[in-house]
Chain A
């Protein structure tokens, strides 16, 4: 009974709290990283070195006035941010944070559920978030958010194809859709898949930047353009949910990349026995470290690169990334059969 009911509930609770805190502090991290790149300090006032800034932001957004635009569809207007946020959070259920470990005497794997179609689950649930984007723009009853939301969703869908193709190559290499088995197959081969499939990782990363509307693909929400993006008309809690969803998506992309390409909870060089003393560090810490590094690269890219124009963005997605991804799948398939 404890194992079937209490443990999963506790895991879910820990996961939710952890993810939401991580998302809030990712916002602060982004501000700090951008600031340090730009020779300034970032938030410094709230708490030591600005560490309580997310708390202040959350409180501010919660106590803001609840404004709904005139003639906006009230239900859809409130539903849209929820539709964007929930899939982003739900996807974390299948991500393996670590191997079987002893937690307070109970032996359990560090993931909420191990579905044998885990990767398919991730791709399909994460794509539901697009509905929220479109509905958010439409429900605002204003032409600029509508245009921006259509642009954002078109961008998302285009890059989704390339990303899914790279995931197919990973499935071919691992031989399974289950996330846990993908990590285990990297352990069996003694090799992180990124070294075997660098092109797939590159395409996945660029596609991930585009899917989360991050620079250099952040035209739909760039302030220098005409609109503030599809969340122009949103304020208060609803805006907070959109914001959280964007960063939660970022963490999803980074976590999935860690699992597929960087060996999940494996230590560096898992097959080299001489580095066995690195095993002191538990698997979930390796996982968090790798995710953190990937997130840092996300922030780094935003601070450095200029922005693509929309037609150049679409051209990159359809004419460059998709052919490359398809070619990668073909080569992987041949290699898997031959080797």
Chain B
């Protein structure tokens, strides 16, 4: 009978290299688009009736008007946001008193990568409008919690997910992620699998690496 080979200790086994995140999606995915289309409204379509008074009351407050599948969007510069929002809420012709949604979209190749989107609704007039503010990375937006208190948690979520700070928010801290989380998950450069997780072929290998890390911590 042949002598059995001495068993190879697990540490001598070649560790499989950590696989990069699945390349499949990246190969098929088109390059990141340069920004939202912000289609101009067709010429024969009547503008909403509050638009002209708004442009009179806040000249330069609306830098672009867009219309797509029935929704009107107003692009507002960052420093005019509070003024325009207050006007829209208080003026009887518009009366946008309900803040339906406040969210952000990340368009990374653009210099002003974030699009803050405010979806507003008018309860008396039963119509909607969207406001969009373009922000650079690191730029803070003015908070609208003074105008619509409903925006409180929305802004916290935008801060949590995108890292956009809001000046004047009463209580800006993370809401969905744990309080000590690093990074902002909804940004396009944040991996779907989360930070620092190695994608290993064999779950047991992951387990060994984790135990080794724990022992190192123990010492």
Contact, chains A and B (beta carbon distance below 8 A): no
User: Using a CB–CB distance below 8 Å, which chain B residues touch chain A?
Assistant: none
User: Using a CB–CB distance below 8 Å, which chain A residues touch chain B?
Assistant: none
